[in-house]
């Protein structure tokens, strides 16, 4: 009987493997870009949660590159070309069984390239890319200058540092101004397009951008109004979905938890799958909420300092790390980094508990008093910054 079971299992495994590699499951992407140098690298990344993993790459030769492989389902990838003359922008590439994609263009600005595909989702994406036109090229040129100014900051002497910083801020402000105009263009197009899954994903992305800028009071109020108008196109069922609720929290910012308010409550799970009501199960001490992801280098860099703080002050401070990754990536990261404090997830990534605070970038930290009131919220990490932020309670 075991032999029969083994033979049947082997047969079905071979059958599944053969099906996945059938010619009909093959996708192909070819590129022809004129007036670029040889040697730069075209790359495709898979996106799982907030982690991008290199999927395929090809060196550009005579302006040509290509990718070919097998897929058994519709899949969204991120595409970029890495090289000194490229502004490090990306484009979404949708692949599917039997899909054929052609990328053509002139020069180094990916936003000006044309992407032709027989995949419906890619055709929809191109409507938005084409609507931006010269705005994207202008934004790309500013982005390239901005990154070069950042590089100069690493190399310049102290006497010239302030002027380089001013130049960097000026470029950042210009990019923001053009970005706000780009958003309005996209919103106008979205108002004319059917509400599809990718449409809702795009609305969530732009709502996320809005809350990032809203936290600095620089996002135009009229853009918020347009987002709210687009949100009202969703059906009641779509509004109640996790994505719909995320969009609502982002564009109706009074829903977000602020400093001085009670912390948000929710049910999250530890690595063993045990549930915890975060605002109820950890009372009596200060809490430091650490929002992190495996692909976030500053998040990882903070762990040695966090371990020092945990060992020295665990009698008065509980650290709770909350992942924005998928379960598998999260558990692999816990195994690698051996974090000795509380680790939780709601398996919803950026759409879950993290969105209650309007968080768009990680690492992000929240200090909560023993009675559950948010004391401080801040983003980013530099060596010694956690001890500095927590010095008042660690004395």
Q: For residue 19, tell me if it sits in a domain.
A: no
pLDDT along the chain (395 residues), means of 10: 41 42 79 95 85 89 96 93 90 95 95 94 93 88 85 74 84 87 93 92 88 66 91 94 86 78 91 92 91 90 94 92 90 92 89 82 92 91 89 81
The pLDDT of residue 49 is 65
DSSP 152-209: HHHHS-HHHHHHHHHHHHHHHHHHHHHHHHHHHHHHHHHTTS---HHHHHHHHHHHHH
pLDDT in tens, 5-31: 344 444 444 344 444 445 578 999 999
Q: Do 76 and 178 belong together in one domain? A: no
Check residue 27 and give its pLDDT. 96
Does residue 103 lie within any of the structural domains?
yes
**Within-domain flag for 280:** yes
Whole domain around residue 306: which residue ranges? 267-394
A 10 A CB-CB count for 33 gives 21
Quote the pLDDT of residue 19: 42
Q: Is 104 helix (H, G, I), strand (E, B) or coil?
A: strand
Query: pLDDT, tens digit, for every residue of 222-238?
Result: 888 999 999 999 999 99
Averaged pLDDT of the chain: 86
Number of domains the chain is built from: 3
Q: Which of 242, 207, 212 is nearest to 227 (CA)?
A: 207
274 and 385 assigned to the same domain? yes
Same domain (yes/no): 328, 291: yes
132 falls within a domain: no
State residue 133's pLDDT score: 84
Spatial contact of 352 and 346, defined as CB atoms under 8 Å apart? yes
Same domain, 30 and 107: yes
Residue 123 lies in a domain: no
- pLDDT of res. 377: 92
- Answer with the one of 206, 231, 255 that is the final residue of a domain: 255
Q: 10 Å Cβ neighbour count for 6?
A: 10
**295 in any annotated domain:** yes
User: In this structure, are 276 and 375 located in the same domain?
Assistant: yes
- Shared domain for 148 and 247, answered yes or no, is yes
- 299 with 181, same domain: the answer is no
Instruction: Please say which residue of 228, 255, 282 terminates a domain.
Output: 255
On whether residue 272 sits in a domain, the answer given is yes
Question: Do 313 and 355 sit in the same domain of this protein?
Answer: yes
Domain boundary among 255, 284, 305: 255
pLDDT of amino acid 177: 87
What's the CATH number where 58 sits? 2.60.40.1120
Same domain, 290 and 369: yes
* CATH number of the domain residue 298 falls in: 3.40.30.10
Q: What is the Cα–Cα distance from 164 to 351, expressed in whole angstroms? A: 37
Q: Are 29 and 93 in contact (CB under 8 A)?
A: yes
Task: Note the pLDDT tens digit of each residue in 103-124.
Answer: 999 999 999 999 999 999 999 9
pLDDT of residue 154: 72
Shared-domain flag, residues 175 and 231: yes
- List alpha helices for the chain, DSSP H: 2-20, 120-132, 134-155, 158-190, 197-214, 221-231, 236-240, 242-251, 297-301, 303-313, 327-337, 385-389, 391-394
One domain, residues 163 and 224: yes
Q: Is residue 195 in a domain?
A: yes
Same-domain status, 183 and 250: yes
């Amino acid at each position: 009987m075991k032999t029969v079971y083994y033979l049947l299992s082997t047969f079905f495994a071979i059958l599944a493997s053969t099906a996945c590699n059938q010619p009909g499951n093959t996708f192909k992407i070819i590129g022809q870009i004129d007036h670029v140098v040889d040697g730069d690298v075209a790359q495709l990344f898979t996106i799982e949660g907030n982690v991008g993993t290199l999927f395929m790459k090809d060196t550009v030769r005579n302006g040509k590159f290509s990718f070919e492989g097998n897929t058994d389902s519709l899949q969204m990838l991120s595409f970029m070309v890495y090289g000194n003359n490229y502004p490090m922008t990306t484009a979404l590439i949708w692949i599917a069984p039997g899909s054929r994609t052609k990328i053509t263009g002139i020069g180094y600005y990916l936003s000006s390239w044309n992407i032709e595909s027989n995949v419906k989702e890619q055709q929809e994406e191109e409507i938005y890319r084409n609507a931006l036109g010269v705005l994207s090229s202008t934004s790309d040129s500013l982005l390239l200058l901005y990154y070069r100014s950042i590089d100069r900051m690493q190399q310049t002497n102290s006497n010239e540092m302030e002027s380089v910083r001013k130049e960097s801020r000026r470029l950042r402000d210009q990019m923001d101004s053009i970005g706000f105009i780009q958003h309005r263009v996209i919103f106008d197009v979205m108002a004319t397009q059917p509400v599809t899954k990718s449409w809702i994903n795009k609305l969530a992305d732009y709502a996320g951008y809005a809350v990032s800028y809203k936290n600095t009071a620089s996002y135009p109020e009229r853009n918020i109004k347009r987002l709210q108008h687009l949100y009202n196109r969703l059906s009641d069922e779509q509004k109640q979905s996790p994505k719909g609720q995320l969009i609502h929290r982002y564009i109706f910012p009074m829903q977000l938890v602020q400093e001085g308010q009670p912390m948000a409550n929710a049910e999250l799970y530890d690595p063993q799958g045990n549930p915890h009501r975060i605002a109820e199960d950890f009372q009596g001490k200060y809490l430091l909420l650490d929002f992190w992801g495996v692909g976030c280098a500053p998040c990882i860099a903070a762990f040695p300092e966090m371990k020092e703080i945990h060992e020295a002050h665990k009698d008065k401070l509980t650290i709770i790390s909350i992942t924005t990754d998928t379960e598998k990536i999260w558990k692999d990261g816990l195994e690698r980094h051996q974090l000795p404090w509380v680790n939780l997830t709601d398996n919803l990534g950026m759409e879950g508990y993290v969105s209650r605070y309007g968080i768009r970038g990680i690492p992000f930290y929240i200090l909560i008093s023993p009675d559950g009131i948010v004391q401080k919220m801040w983003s980013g990490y530099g060596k010694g910054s956690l001890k500095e932020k927590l010095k008042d309670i660690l004395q």
